[in-house]
Structure 1
Amino acid sequence: MSSSCSSDQAFVTLATNDNYAKGAMVLGKSLKNHKTSRKLVALVGPHVSDPSREVLRQIYDEVRLVDVLDSGDTAHLAMMKRPDLGVTFTKLHCWTLTHYSKCVFMDADTLVLSNIDELFDREELSAAPDPGWPDCFNSGVFVFRPSNETYGKLLQYCTEHGSFDGGDQGVLNGFFSNWSTADITKHLPFIYNMSSIAIYTYLPAFKQYGANAKVVHFLGQTKPWSYTYDPKERRVRGDTHEASSHPSFLLQWWALYSSSVVPMLQAAYGDQPFLSGCEEELSQIAHLAPPPMSSEERKQKWEQGQADYMGIDSFDNIQKKLDAFLK
């Protein structure tokens, strides 16, 4: 455990809308389930609904509204010059949490698989390499020290240089530009930010080291909340082309979300309509369900490499068809 008092250290995440708020809820629950001794802080944008904020307040020690567009601070001035970096400015607000001595930022599309409090032994800016370009760090998980001075310098850097990838990762890699060469102790092992995409690109390494993973990061366009889930069969459904590379982690996310988060959301929404993504509920709203796929459409999906590996085209279902045919 870190030598500093754990009460002045925190895990921090950011939710800009209700979907990312669901991710933040699961992340917070996973940190608590693995007995973190640190505080939990959620930064939320103005588009996060009141019921979602209510649930976040039940999970997090602190829920803070951040909105660069309506603020009169330096971020507002920087925003006027660089409107393309709106979400990035919102994320940089984490440096203003100066009532904490050290924090670990985690994107809302991450899931904690074991206790990671040892990250607080690391210094700013510690992060894991990005699988796409390992001389850059991935900004989904990083250790930092809140500081108004650093915050001001980051905003100034944003205004003058922008972001080479259009987001916070480009800004932070530009600002902390010596990360790859200066101090190897600031290179977090990949198990602290294991991208679900990397599982697919280097499967032998995943088979060798994947069991040691402590944080999985659902990179890519399709997020866990984009799928639907059948709690009875414990199956995830959706565009499973991406999901097939990390089905067990996706199932862990949905198991935690459906058992712990959905009841809290249902209580917070009360009589208001609310879509959880669980199929039991979706079946009650039949007009929203897509029509069953024709055999021709299914054939086209197969030819495009988009078989429903976790649903109708699963190995078990194919085996049953073969067994029935052979009999």
Structure 2
Amino acid sequence: MADQAFVTLATNDNYAKGAMVLGKSLRNHNTSKKLVALIGPQVSEPCQSVLKSIFDEVRVVDVLDSGDTAHLSMMKRPDLGVTFTKLHCWTLTHYSKCVFMDADTLVLSNIDELFDREELSAAPDPGWPDCFNSGVFVFRPSVETYGKLLQYCTEHGSFDGGDQGVLNGFFGDWATADISKHLPFIYNLSSIAIYTYLPAFKQYGGNAKVVHFLGKTKPWSCTFDAKSKQVVGSVHEATTHPSFLKDWWILYSSTVVPMLQEQYGDKPFHSGVVEHEESSSSHSHAVQSQQFQVSSEERKQKWEQGQADYMGMDSFDNIKRKLDNFLK
């Protein structure tokens, strides 16, 4: 279907790397759809070149220089700059139907069946299930809808300061009107939700088709030891299931990094990939040290603040082990 496309957005080089991995994961699972990347003007030339080799269409979008209604809306609501940029996906009217995917998502199997759904189809947000998560959604490009969305932004703003608040306000009947527009959670498995309902992840996680790396720490925020195939990241902030994170890094290091190296040539760039195991062992030592230093009261406090040590003592394997013992 030449008039259907997966669409993503990258406003800087870091998110561009995420978009590259997303594009590669869609290609690897043999999508029959077109791939479109909307990018901000801050994305560097080398990254743009790599994106153009992965995606069928790469379009620079900048609301500040657009000269259209988005520009006028921006003047009234400068706080919603990135949101206005994302809404440009509705201007892709040479496509009849699209699936938008955030650049911090990873496809685990073919998901072309999403195009059987109608606008606006999305999965529930784990934080408030009566809202949909705007990391993956089905939509129909339309100049009319685009104009109405901008008008809604200008008049109502966003209850969460981002695109998710705007879209949930605009498509306000999503939770109650049509169950067919509720995508199963496996199409937008939020990595931070794994630990909030571990038995469900154990039961259904193997069917996941898209993983979404929600939270402040993104896959590209970590480092990957190519020799040991281990991800090295912040002990406090790594908020994802290690195997999904490793899948992201293996795809990035094996397919995207060589393309970036070719574009950068002799110019230095930060790939995040290291060729030795020192970082891995020092990270392991740091985790072990922390386990002895953190009291049970401090640990409880960190959990309540959403700062569980997912890569250390609160890792998936440790929680699973305790859960299995409890169930026995």
Is the TM-score greater than 0.5?
yes
Shift of residue 272, structure 1, vs aligned partner? 1.2
Preserved contact between residue 109 and residue 210 of structure 2 (Cα < 8 Å): yes
Shift of residue 245, structure 1, vs aligned partner? 4.3
TM-score, length-normalised on structure 2? 0.87
Shift of residue 231, structure 1, vs aligned partner? 1.2
CA distance 1:14–1:244, change in 2 (3 Å): closer
Partner residue, 1:220: 215
Is 1:45 aligned to 2:29, yes or no?
A: no
Shift of residue 70, structure 1, vs aligned partner? 1.1
1:67 to 44, 47, 62: 62
Partner residue, 2:103: 108
**Residues 69-115 of structure 1: per-residue CA shift (max 9 Å, x gap):** 11100000000000000000000000000000000000000000000
CA distance 1:233–1:165, change in 2 (3 Å): same
Partner residue, 1:198: 193
SS in 2 for 1:143: strand
2:173 counterpart letter in structure 1: N
Task: State how 1:259-270 maps to structure 2 within 5 Å.
Answer: 259-270=254-265
Identity of aligned residues (%): 76
Preserved contact between residue 291 and residue 312 of structure 2 (Cα < 8 Å): no
Preserved contact between residue 244 and residue 310 of structure 1 (Cα < 8 Å): no
Preserved contact between residue 243 and residue 250 of structure 1 (Cα < 8 Å): no
Is 1:97 aligned to 2:92, yes or no?
A: yes
Is 1:15 aligned to 2:10, yes or no?
A: yes
Is 1:30 aligned to 2:33, yes or no?
A: no
CA distance 1:295–1:259, change in 2 (3 Å): closer
2:55 counterpart letter in structure 1: Y
Preserved contact between residue 7 and residue 98 of structure 2 (Cα < 8 Å): yes
Task: State how 1:1-327 maps to structure 2 within 5 Å.
Answer: 6-243=1-238, 245-280=240-275, 299-300=292-293, 305=299, 309=311
SS in 1 for 2:37: strand
TM-score, length-normalised on structure 1? 0.87
2:34 counterpart letter in structure 1: K
1:131 counterpart letter in structure 2: P
Partner residue, 1:325: none
Shift of residue 41, structure 1, vs aligned partner? 0.1
Preserved contact between residue 12 and residue 42 of structure 2 (Cα < 8 Å): yes
2:249 counterpart letter in structure 1: W
In structure 2, the gaps of 5 or more residues are 300-307, 319-328
